[in-house]
Amino acid sequence: MKGHFEVLIAALATAILAGPHGDRLAMAQSGRNAPSQGAQSVEAQAPYALQYEGRVTVRTDRTATDVFTQRLKILTPSAIATVSQQQFNFVEGMQTLETVEAFTEKSDGTKVPVGPANIITRDAASGMQATYMRDLKQRTVIFQDVQVGDTLVMTHRREIRQSLFSGYFFYADVFARSRPYASAQVIVEAPGDLDLRVSTIGAGLRDRIEEADGVRRHTVTLSPQPYLPEEVRAVSPIDRDPVLLVSTFKSYEEMGLAYGAAALPKAVVTPEIAALADDITKGVADRRQQAEAIDTWMKKNIRYVAVYLSLGRVVPNDAASVLSNKFGDCKDKATLMSALLAAKGIASEVVLMNFGSTYTLPEPPTLVALNHAILYLPEFDLYDDPTQNFAAFGMLAAETYDKPVVRVGTSDATLARTPAMKPEDHKNHAATIINVAADGTVTGQTEESGTGVFGMILRFAGSNVQTLGHETISQRQLQAYNTPGTGRYDLGNSAETADPVTMKSRFTLSQPFKPPTPGGRAAIPFGLPQVLRPGNFLLGTRLNGRKSAFICYAGRQTEDIDATFDQALPMPVALAPITIDNPAFTYRASFRVEGRTLKMHREFVSRVAGQVCASELEAQIAGDMNAVRVNVNSSYAFRSAQAAQQTLELTRAVASDQTLRLDFLFALNPDCTSLGFATVRILDPPKHGKFTFENGTGFTTFPQDNLRYECNKRRSDGVVLTYEPDSGFAGMDSINIDVIFASGFSRKRHYSIEVK
């Protein structure tokens, strides 16, 4: 789904915004070039070592020259393919890029120059579908004759002739710890009277400032930091690693005003736009409903395409052009929607933010953390993203909740934050009915509903079904679940952007269900849901020893599965109920057998306060999350239909003047913890005595070959059955009961009691 979204600036992670080695940030975020963990020094644990030197000379007119050299020493064979081809982006209309020199330095000091044929300049694509910037170029340097021990050396000169914002200069460099820096130094020099702010953030960066002959010089040096491989779902390197920021902007508010001065005049309400707004809202009097109608129209009729039609880059096309073209990038769509809202007298503000894994706005202001534009509607205190075609009105993509933003209005700009996720806004429920025939054929249906980000997932799934077909999508989905088969969908209201969205599916599995042999276990299929099962999405993937803060979402997922088995088949034994209350989440699961149906219910609720969770939380939730994983993916023991119908015959004896502890009923886990207390139903009470049962403790009687044999050595919870003969009675008495154990297993018991 992420491929459908674009960034505000096509070259965010390139030299336009992130300095000469902004590509380093892109590699860090993708996990590319991440060496393995283990050793202590940079060279010992990494496939290559990187040295960087740069000099940025800023002039009074806010143009600049940037000369930078990179040296990459190859330490392992794997690094040859990884780093022997280097790429740099630049914007031809704003910059020039000269490759001063590039060569392979052999271990004996010999230099192998990179020939002109191996220095290639071409149009650059951003990597997203149909996305390009007409004058965004990519320089590729392909090194020759590379072997372990060689050093790849290249020097480039970039002339920055124009800034994205006229009259301003900014530069950013992120030293991601997932790249093995042996050393780095950046010199930033500018006229002493130029109000240029230079800031270093994070451990290991030191800034030495000198002033001479009217020039202020910052020498920023990076001390090698412990290598930190990219961690699954970690926040961006911008939020956690050393960062160098250079800017003439005094504040993000000032940057917002600069954006607004260029962008807001594009949202002109033309007669055509006014007429369209009236048509969209015809018959709708409520103002919020009018805004929702406009949002719905935008998502259905203005497709997202990140093609930059002008050289403005941060300046959108005017609303009339976007309407005529019926497509636009994020800022184009925000501009047209703003004009349509204005036509109905509904105010809006453009919101500059990050779409990705960055959750801070580091100072001084640059665009390193701003790459997306949406809208804020003050009248309803509501954020809305018209590029999210699968989102309901006022619902955002998961990546854009709890983010710092710059809101740009007609007269001012303010810093704010998008709301954090709430469990009640993001709900998913999957209800599956499974039928297992006598021959093992498995058929069933799943009905799934969702709101918020889960609604987006279901709408995206519905779109995929329309694009690729019912058969293809159902086969792929069932195969991914290791339950091959075929299916067909009822897409319900998935084509509409109104929550909740509901989809249904029917399926038939290819492989018959095979009951396990005695003592074995088998998994029960869980249908054809489109959303990951409870516990597998909101809090992400577990990682032992996590070092970085990680992205976490709030929401509620529930799952109900009713599996019905033919009379000829054995029945599964219900699992014990489970309840987990963790500071970050709760999980509850219950299981019961009703007739020939096993009913399973699971609920997972993530209650995280924000979308960034501290690394320390990992250790606090890892054990409980593993328990959730085990429960969700549990297999089941089965008991034969014949065994279910048999009555256990038991014989007991008691003196006429004593009370008999008739039996002790228990159900334990392999670790000897109790599954819970059994339920006892009296079918035929004794005729000559008193029968009672109550919860208590006792000793189990597992045979030596049972995994629970060790449990016999200590008292366990269970139900104590007691028989007391009537005074003066001697002879035979009997009791019939039905016992339903906490595991779900049930059996009738007949006690023959001799009273002496």
For tokens 């950046």, name the residue: 186
Residue 159 is assigned to a structural domain of this protein? yes
Residue 586 is assigned to a structural domain of this protein? yes
Residue 1 is assigned to a structural domain of this protein? no
Tell me which of 33-37, 513-517, 595-599, 683-687 is least confident.
Answer: 33-37
Q: Half-sphere exposure (CA, 13 Å, Cβ side) for 393?
A: 18
- Residue 221: pLDDT band (50, 70, 90) is very high
Residues 567 and 656 placed together within one structural domain of the fold: no
Residue 4 is assigned to a structural domain of this protein? no
The residue-averaged pLDDT of 264-286 equals 97
Q: Which pLDDT score is estimated for 641?
A: 57
Residue 503 and residue 474 in contact, taking contact as beta carbons nearer than 8 Å: no
Residues 567 and 494 placed together within one structural domain of the fold: yes
- The whole-angstrom distance between residue 196's C-alpha and the CA centroid of its chain comes to 38
Q: Which of 419, 452, 474 is the last residue of a domain?
A: 419
Angle at 291 between CA 288 and CA 297, to 5 degrees: 140
CB under 8 Å to 72, separation ≥6 — which residues?
48, 49, 50, 51, 79, 83, 151, 152
- What is the domain-level CATH number for residue 710? 2.60.40
Residues 543 and 445 placed together within one structural domain of the fold: yes
346 pLDDT more than 90: yes
Q: Which pLDDT score is estimated for 227?
A: 81
Residues 664 and 633 placed together within one structural domain of the fold: no
Q: Which pLDDT score is estimated for 738?
A: 87
The residue-averaged pLDDT of 115-122 equals 94
The residue-averaged pLDDT of 242-252 equals 97
CB under 8 Å to 327, separation ≥6 — which residues?
302, 303, 304, 305, 307
Residue 3 is assigned to a structural domain of this protein? no
The residue range of the domain holding 126 is: 9-248
Q: Which pLDDT score is estimated for 642?
A: 55
Identify residue 749 by its one-letter amino acid code: R
Residues 264 and 133 placed together within one structural domain of the fold: no
Q: Which of 248, 277, 310 is the last residue of a domain?
A: 248
103 pLDDT more than 80: yes
Average pLDDT, the chain: 89
The residue-averaged pLDDT of 689-700 equals 94
Residues 238 and 265 placed together within one structural domain of the fold: no
Summarize pLDDT for 319-336 with one digit per residue, the tens. Answer: 999 999 999 889 999 999
**How far is Cα 1 from Cα 489, in angstroms, rounded to an integer?**
20
Summarize pLDDT for 734-752 with one digit per residue, the tens. Answer: 999 988 787 656 778 999 9
What percentage of residues in the chain have a pLDDT greater than 90?
Answer: 76
Residues 320 and 469 placed together within one structural domain of the fold: no
Residues 414 and 464 placed together within one structural domain of the fold: no
- What is the domain-level CATH number for residue 16? 2.60.40.3140
Residues 479 and 372 placed together within one structural domain of the fold: no
Residue 469 is assigned to a structural domain of this protein? yes
Summarize pLDDT for 647-682 with one digit per residue, the tens. Answer: 889 999 999 999 999 999 998 888 888 888 888 889
Residue 2 is assigned to a structural domain of this protein? no
Residues 433 and 511 placed together within one structural domain of the fold: yes
Residue 109 is assigned to a structural domain of this protein? yes
Summarize pLDDT for 132-174 with one digit per residue, the tens. Answer: 355 778 899 999 999 999 999 999 999 999 888 889 999 999 9
- What is the domain-level CATH number for residue 535? 2.60.120.1130
Residues 262 and 169 placed together within one structural domain of the fold: no
CA dihedral defined by 173, 175, 181, 185, rounded to 10 degrees?
40
Q: Which of 419, 451, 482 is the last residue of a domain?
A: 419
- Residue 17: pLDDT band (50, 70, 90) is very low
Strand arrangement of the beta sheet that strand 170-174 belongs to: 170-174, 243-247, 197-201
Number of folded domains that form the chain: 4
Residues 353 and 442 placed together within one structural domain of the fold: no
